[in-house]
Amino acid sequence: MNAREARPGDLGISASRHAGREAKRELPGDVDVWVFVIGEMVVFAAYFAAYVVDRGRNQELFLQSQQLLSPGLGVVNTLVLLTSSLFVALSVRATRTADARTASQCLALGGACGAAFALIKSFEWYSKLRVGLTISTNAFFMHYYMMTGVHFFHVVLGLVLLTILWREIHHTDAPRAWVIESGACYWHAIDLLWIVIFALLYLMR
């Protein structure tokens, strides 16, 4: 048999590899971004685990300290960030359909909501620091400032990324959809992390 002649087994392997490549194309964005996002999730999972352990050891202290937070601001910030993610998702959809104008507008609105989140969180920190509630007050506020602080840093990093994506859409004749998808994946991960943080700090009893 000719060495170049395909055997049935070879056809099966080839089809499997082709199917694997097609499956990879179904994953939005770039695989490197997903590796980074998963890594960030693991890091935050360690923060969350440490919080739950400390809470279990100091339930009364944590419950009393929770009463000093501002649930209203937490709810507003959650809604603002969810709205931001919605706009970013709409921007991705518009990019896929080559509607650059809508994609640009939605991304700008998503960034504006992200900036609003940062401003509200800054105000909340200020209101706590003003009355003497600092990172050294007790174990609860140590976790509060650590988790919200690290998340805040990621929000700022995400806003920088959204600005880069906006330029990609606004100043490029053919915006690369996978680039916008990659940035959106990171932004949605930030949103997801905040939902967990909000539940742990403001709602968990």
Using one digit for the tens of pLDDT, what is the confidence trace for 192-202? 999 999 999 99
Q: Is the pLDDT of residue 134 over 90?
A: yes
Residue 163 has pLDDT above 80, yes or no: yes
Give the residue, 15 or 104, on which the prediction is more confident: 104
Indicate the burial class of 18 (C-beta count within 10 angstroms; 0-12, 13-18, 19 or more).
exposed
Homologous superfamily of domain range 29-203: Cytochrome c oxidase, subunit III, four-helix bundle (1.20.120.80)
Angle ∠(100,106,108) on CA atoms, nearest 5? 100
Residue ranges per structural domain of the chain = 29-203
Q: Is the pLDDT of residue 1 over 60?
A: no
Tens of pLDDT, residue by residue over 100-124, are 899 999 999 999 999 999 999 999 9
Amino acid (one-letter) located at 10: D
Phi, then psi, of 135 in degrees rounded to 5: -65, -20
Centre a 10 Å sphere on the Cβ of residue 120 and count the other Cβ atoms it contains.
17
Distance CA 65, CA 61 (A): 6
- Mean pLDDT over 132-154 rounds to 96
User: In the prediction, which pLDDT does 27 show?
Assistant: 63
Using the predicted structure, report yes or no on whether residue 13 has a pLDDT greater than 60: no
Q: What's the pLDDT band for 26 if we cut at 50, 70, 90?
A: low
Predicted pLDDT of residue 205: 81
Higher pLDDT: 17 or 102? It is: 102
Angle at CA of residue 180, ends 183 and 196, nearest 5°? 35
pLDDT the model gives residue 35: 87
pLDDT category of residue 169 using cuts at 50, 70 and 90: confident
